[in-house]
């Protein structure tokens, strides 16, 4: 991420993000896209459901873990971990886990393919309900346009989406490059890229998410120089777990 983009992420006002009464449970998140090699699918589900998500949610400051999927899509899975703030995601507790992955974690990550992973600040969020379907978009933005793009999303595009039947919440997250690329024993097990921005639209019906996809797409953001990956799709919730 360019330096100006990095500064924009770090300068985001904490109060502009989400809070416990909103659809997101915190002001920061880890967002992961991935495929899994066919021979590792059963192991992935057993590990992710029963070990990895509970382990992450045992770390102080982690609030909720959700995993979504779309069969036939690449990447097939989307995982979202919500945290109180960015400090949780660079904390000694979290880094200790990343630097001491369990044997099953090491063995399962070798099956990962096409991985994106971003440690993000929540730059803005509208809505107070979570949905079973989420439109997930990965964006690249011009380094000088961050503030304007955020304003356009929050003041114009997100309110229009929220007016659609079935749309429950809209979120924009901005990756913190330093936190995303922290060198750990776990990060060395797989290659991954870091999308600069993430837009999530939570919905109660898949057709609502598809309509939101049309609204979020070009040319509504193109005039600001945004580049959107073409693989943005609607994922369906598989598992949701709250921290105890």
Q: What is the pLDDT of residues 137-154, one digit of tens each?
A: 999 998 788 999 999 999
Rounded to an integer, the average pLDDT of 33-51 is 98
Is 50 exceeded by the pLDDT of residue 1?
no
Tens of pLDDT along 101-123? Answer: 999 999 999 999 999 999 999 99
What pLDDT score does 181 carry?
96
% of residues, the chain, pLDDT over 90 = 82
Q: Tens digits of per-residue pLDDT, 171-192? A: 999 999 999 999 999 999 999 9
pLDDT in tens, 58-102: 999 999 999 999 999 999 999 999 999 999 999 999 999 999 999
Higher per-residue pLDDT: 216 or 23: 23
Contacts for 123 with CB less than 8 Å, ≥ 6 apart: 9, 12, 16, 17, 150, 172, 173, 174, 197
pLDDT at 6 over 80: no
- What is the dihedral sign for C-alpha 162, 166, 169, 172? negative
Specify the DSSP element, H or E, that contains 212. helix 206-216
Tell me, what's the pLDDT at 223?
77
Q: Which domains are present in the chain?
A: 3-242 (3.30.70.100)
* pLDDT-derived band at 8, boundaries 50, 70, 90: low
Using the structure block, give the residue that is written with the tokens 């904490």. Answer: 14
- Output the pLDDT for position 17: 43
Q: Are 180 and 192 in contact (CB under 8 A)?
A: no
pLDDT reported for residue 22: 84
**What is the pLDDT at residue 191?**
93
As a dihedral over the C-alpha atoms of residue 169, residue 181, residue 86, residue 107, rounded to 10 degrees, the angle is: 80
What pLDDT is recorded for position 218?
Answer: 60
What is the CA angle 129-135-138, rounded to 5? 120
Q: In this predicted structure, what is the pLDDT of residue 225?
A: 85
pLDDT at position 26 is 97
CB contact set of 117 (below 8 Å; sequence gap of 6+): 30, 31, 32, 33, 180, 192, 194
Q: What is the mean pLDDT of the chain?
A: 91
Span 190-221, pLDDT tens digits? 999 999 999 999 999 999 999 999 998 767 77
d(CA 207, CA 195): 26
């Amino acid at each position: 991420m360019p330096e100006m983009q990095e500064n924009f992420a770090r300068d985001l006002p904490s109060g502009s993000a989400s809070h416990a009464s909103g659809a997101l449970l915190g002001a920061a998140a880890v967002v992961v896209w991935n495929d899994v090699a066919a021979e590792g699918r059963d192991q992935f589900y057993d590990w992710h459901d029963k070990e990895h998500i509970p382990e992450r949610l045992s770390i102080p400051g982690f609030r909720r873990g959700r995993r979504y999927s779309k069969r036939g899509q690449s990447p097939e899975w989307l995982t979202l971990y919500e945290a109180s703030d960015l400090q949780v995601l660079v904390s000694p507790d979290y880094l200790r886990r990343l630097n001491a992955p369990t044997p099953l974690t090491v063995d399962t990550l070798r099956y990962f393919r096409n991985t994106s992973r971003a440690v993000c600040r929540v730059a803005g969020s509208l809505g107070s309900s979570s949905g079973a379907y989420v439109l997930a978009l990965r964006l690249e933005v011009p380094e000088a346009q961050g503030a304007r793009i955020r304003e356009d999303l929050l003041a114009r595009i997100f309110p229009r989406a929220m007016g659609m039947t079935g749309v429950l919440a809209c979120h924009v997250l901005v990756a913190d490059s330093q936190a995303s690329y922290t060198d750990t024993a776990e990060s060395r097990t797989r290659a991954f890229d870091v999308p600069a921005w993430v837009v999530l639209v939570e919905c109660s019906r898949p057709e609502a998410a598809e309509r939101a996809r049309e609204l979020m797409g070009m040319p509504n953001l193109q005039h600001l120089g945004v580049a959107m990956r073409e693989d943005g799709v609607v994922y369906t919730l598989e598992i949701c777990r709250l921290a105890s």
